[in-house]
Structure 1
Amino acid sequence: MINKVHQENFEKCFVQQYSMIHRLETNKLRNVAKFFAHLLGTDALPWHVLAYIRLTEEDTTSSSRIFIKILFQELSEHLGIRLLNERLNDPTMQDSFESIFPKDNPKNTRFSINFFTSIGLGGITENLREYLKSMPRLIMQQQKSVLDSDEESESSEELSSSSSGSESGSESESEPSSESDGRHSKRRKRK
């Protein structure tokens, strides 16, 4: 807290350790996770480091899931679930937590909810659950707006094609009448 250099170095260590977490055996992994949880809990490590963690099925390994599990369980033990939830719902930090609580597609959202529920921290996913419930409605609204814009473009295309079609239609109508006039004049001459 006294010197920002330490925070910057801890942040570099966090990124480095998380990228190599799959190389650690379980006891070392546990100790590293507890260490970083302590640093986060005491604000010796800035919370935006959590942006380096992408919690999806594809982006995590069993080792990284164990690391995340221990990290968040230690944080909830140190801070309490209420304070941890407040920190995670801080509007100024939402960009940093976007990768842990993904809203990019329903599969990743469900994975994050199921992960935290399985480790006993389902309470911190309330906002994510609400988002998942409203997701079908948001998708419907997006699709409706896309359909509306498509219909508008189609109707403008129809109007432009019908106006050009009416011009060509009037020409074709005038041709048969001139032909019929020519036929009548030939008949008159024969008579």
Structure 2
Amino acid sequence: MLGSYGPDGLSLAVAREQLMKARKQVAEGVSPARLKAETIGFRKEQLRFGEWAEEWLEKFKMAESTRDARRFVFEHDLRRPFGSLLLHEITEQALRQLCDRIVARVAPAVAVHAREIVMLVFRCAAQRGERHSNPADGVPPASIAKFELRDRTLKPHEIRQSIVIWTELTNATWSEIDFADKV
């Protein structure tokens, strides 16, 4: 079946065009019905962005602290808007809008990280044969946020606080840092 005819369906011209294409396929020994069923089956088998992201987070080589930080950004900023979408459904415009919303809540670095995660998940999928246009290619980090240097000097109490934090961190191990619980 090519589709339904009428105002909500195919026009007569499009229906004739599809019929000619189907006849040509039959003449070549290809079953249009089987081809359509395989295409539908392929679409059902495709992984969603959230599934690709989970695979990437589990298998991609990175430090555990980096993995925790990226998982945090994925869970808090990417899972809800993109998790259930197929890769081809995520557009450059959707990624740009998401990054703009993150920047609006005064988190430009998180927006840049979210964009990077999308880029890396698409690359992971491409390495496994799932090639789609990577929306992150059209959203360069510089278009998300511009980080400016600060010219102010630290006050004495800020220096003391920094020294205390630095001393604690120099004696810390990565296992003591937990990005998920912010500790």
Normalised TM-score (structure 1): 0.25
Task: Return the index of the structure with the highest Cα Rg.
Answer: 1
Normalised TM-score (structure 2): 0.26
Q: Quick check: which one's helix share is greater?
A: 1
Higher relative contact order (CA 8 A, sep 6+): 2
